Amino acid sequence: MRMIQSKASFPTRLRVAAYARVSSSSDTAYGSLSEQTEYYERIIRANPQWSFAGVFHDQGISGTVKDARKGFLSLLEEADNGNIDIILTKSISRFARNTVDLLETVRHLKDIGVSVRFERENIDTSGMEGELLLTLLAGFAEAEAESASEARLWSVRKGYEKGISCHGHPPYGYRWDGPVLAVFPEEAEVVKRIFMMYLEGDGADRIAAILNSEGVRKRNGTMFYGSEIRYILTNEAYIGDMILQKTFTARDKKRKAVRNNGQLPKYHIEDDHEAIIERDVFDAVQTEMKRRSSFGKGNLASPNVPHSVLTGRIVCSECGKKYVRNGAGNGYWICGTKTRHGRTSCGARNISDKAMRGVLADILGGDSDELIAINDARIVMSGDNAIITLSDGSGYLIRFTKKNCTGTTWEIEKL
């Protein structure tokens, strides 16, 4: 029996995807996005010559910024991987409002055999005879986007002049109740505690570590960082005030938020909403923050802890961070990693200020800041030991022993 190869050929179905975008994150816009997604999936599956390759979308993202659109970038990646033949989209303005990006993208897609069909403009890029028309329409779309953006910006700034704030993210401790910031009691108690802890001598990093160790979390469920505690401590929203236009959107291609350092006017509204922190408490914290900053980094500098000559001189051998002073009176020096991330983050030993000064007094023949500074004492903590070096090159190995009754004792061995 002789086998005869069939010459019949069956047409390959085209892999068709769609792209949808809404630039607003409102509920109405989300509904529109859902409707677009269902529409494209329905018409693609209804065509027997097409196979469904997915609907890619972005929501709450401007079409002028290509790199910010994850759905759009995923679409291009699938096209580059050879998984798409045709892309459907509602209009040029949905696909891109930047003429350069639009033409570069369309030309690249054509080079890899992918065509784009714009429904509203009735343009199919497979032929590209209409590239001039596409360029003109894209230019109009970009100008339209710029005009709409300027109109929105004008409206926001006019609102600022009248003391009306646009709805951004409410600060921790508040929620939006219509146009007004309303206190969120559970978070407000944490805010009050943060201010009190700071005035009692704790630094921002230590406050964050304490809250994290107790399981207190931010609104999104993540842990606190020192930088966020410092932002809370300096945010005038907690005394009921509002400063409008702290930041503004840069009028460039990246459209990133930029801190307003005098480029544009700011608007200070007093008693805008219910306060969480009393003004005198807030003012006391601002004064204390300035006082501590005058001591430089590396020292908590609480009201009862003066700046120490040992600041910056004690280093952890395990993580390389400098020790910071914590506690009034006979306080302790603690590895900076532990103050930021909690006691389990580094195994370095804490050392009392009294013990460290006692060791230096034995070595230098006196207990004074002047002697420590003149000899440029440098200390590396390693477990229960420390190595001290002086400016003359001499070195000393210190073995600490902590005893319940007599406190910390030590042995000194010259190296």
pLDDT of residue 307: 54
Do 201 and 289 share a domain, yes or no? yes
Instruction: Please state the φ and ψ torsions of residue 365, each to the nearest 5 degrees.
Output: 80, 25
Query: Could you say which of 293, 325, 344 is where a domain stops?
Result: 293
Is residue 7 a part of any domain in this protein?
A: no
Return the percent helix, strand and coil in the chain, to nearest 5: 40, 20, 40
The helices-and-strands tally (H runs, E runs) of the chain is: 12, 19
pLDDT tens, residue by residue, 49-74: 999 999 998 876 554 455 568 889 99
User: Are 89 and 40 part of one and the same domain?
Assistant: yes
Write down the mean pLDDT value for the chain.
Answer: 77
Q: Are residues 35 and 67 in the same domain?
A: yes
How far is residue 61 from each of residues 65, 84, 153, measured CA to CA in Å? 8, 24, 16
| Nearest partner of 256 among 267, 244, 247, judged by Cα | 247
Residues 89-138: tens digit of each pLDDT: 988 777 775 666 777 888 888 889 899 898 887 888 876 555 555 555 55
- Measure CA 139 to chain center: 34
Q: Record the pTM.
A: 0.41
Is residue 154 a part of any domain in this protein? no
Whether residues 135 and 21 share a domain: the answer is: yes
Q: How many domains does the chain have?
A: 3
Q: Give yes or no: residues 63 and 179 share one domain.
A: no
In SS3 terms, 3-37 reads as CCCCCCCCCCCEEEEEEEEECCCCHHHHHHHHHHH
Checking if the pLDDT of 408 tops 70, the result is yes
* CATH code for the domain of 76: 3.40.50.1390
168-177, long-range: CB < 8 A, 24+ apart = 171/232, 171/235, 171/237, 171/238, 172/218, 172/219, 172/232, 173/238, 173/276, 174/237, 174/273, 174/276
Q: Rg of the chain over CA atoms, in angstroms?
A: 32
- Assess whether 208 and 96 both reside in one domain: no
Structural domain boundaries enclosing 193: 174-293
Helices 226-234 and 185-199 cross at an angle (nearest 10°) of 90
Q: Are residues 113 and 82 in the same domain?
A: yes
Is there a single domain that holds both residue 276 and residue 320? Answer: no
* Each residue's pLDDT tens digit, 10-40: 557 899 999 988 765 444 444 477 888 889 9
Would residue 270 count as lying in a domain?
Answer: yes
Residue 307: inside a domain, yes or no? no
pLDDT digits (tens, 9 = 90+) for 138-195: 555 555 555 555 555 545 455 444 445 555 678 899 998 887 889 999 999 999 999 9
